């Protein structure tokens, strides 16, 4: 599943690729115990101007993280699992003007829907591009352990 440079289309600030790139991938189904710590992480990383968060921002949690990043100061690199947008969605107008956004498409413009194959290709590209990776996977991921309270008998 190699992606050649000729297959890649860019829109936005390519200099974001020179920053520390933190990849973020989250499954469609995750443990609820992972949500709040992940959103707290998103708030914190969104404040960092020397970082760019790389993701497809496709799953529900990835979209929620994106909302925080859009309000912050960090760079955002979106890797699409379909062709490049024909028209930039309005939610990206401000970050594009602030030079904080890079959109990367790995597919031809005629690919308009995400498939299992293109999603897998996108996720592999995010992993390859990232200097660090934060992954939130399935419901079976270990949950945070809380101290056991003393029981009253």
Distance CA 100, CA 113 (A): 26
Identify the CA nearest to 74 among candidates 66, 82, 84: 66
> What pLDDT score was predicted for residue 135?
82
pLDDT at 142: 44
pLDDT of residue 28: 82
pLDDT at residue 138, as a whole number: 54
| Burial of residue 57, with CB atoms counted within 10 A of its CB: 0-12 exposed, 13-18 middle, 19 or more buried | buried
For residue 53 the two structure tokens come to: 């968060």
- Look at residue 137 in the predicted model and tell me its pLDDT: 66
pLDDT at 89: 95
To the nearest 10 degrees (0 to 180), the angle between helices 60-71 and 35-45 is: 30
H helices of the chain, in order, are: 35-45, 60-71, 93-97, 116-129
The span from the CA of 30 to the CA of 32, in Å, is: 6
Strands 101-105 and 9-12: antiparallel
pLDDT, mean of each 10-residue run, the chain (153 residues) = 66 98 89 86 96 95 96 97 94 97 93 90 95 74 37 33
User: What phi and psi values does residue 41 have, to the nearest 5 degrees?
Assistant: -60, -45
Q: What is the pLDDT of residue 104?
A: 97
Please give the model's pTM, rounded to 2 decimal places.
0.85
pLDDT of residue 110: 85
CB atoms within 10 A of CB 32: 8
């Amino acid at each position: 599943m190699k992606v050649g440079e000729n297959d890649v289309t860019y829109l936005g600030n390519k200099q974001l690729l020179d920053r520390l790139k933190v990849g973020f991938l989250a499954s469609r189904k995750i443990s609820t115990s992972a949500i709040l710590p992940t959103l707290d992480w998103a708030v914190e990383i969104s404040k960092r101007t020397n970082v760019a968060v790389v993701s497809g921002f496709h799953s529900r949690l990835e979209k929620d993280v994106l909302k925080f990043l859009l309000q912050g100061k960090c760079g955002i690199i979106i890797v699409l699992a379909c062709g490049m947008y024909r028209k930039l969605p309005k939610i990206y107008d401000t970050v594009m003007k602030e030079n904080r956004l890079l959109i990367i498409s790995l597919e031809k413009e005629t690919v308009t829907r995400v498939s299992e194959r293109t999603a897998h290709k996108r996720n592999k590209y995010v992993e390859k591009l990232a200097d660090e990776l934060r992954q939130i996977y399935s419901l079976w991921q270990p949950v945070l352990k809380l101290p056991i309270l003393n029981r009253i008998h």
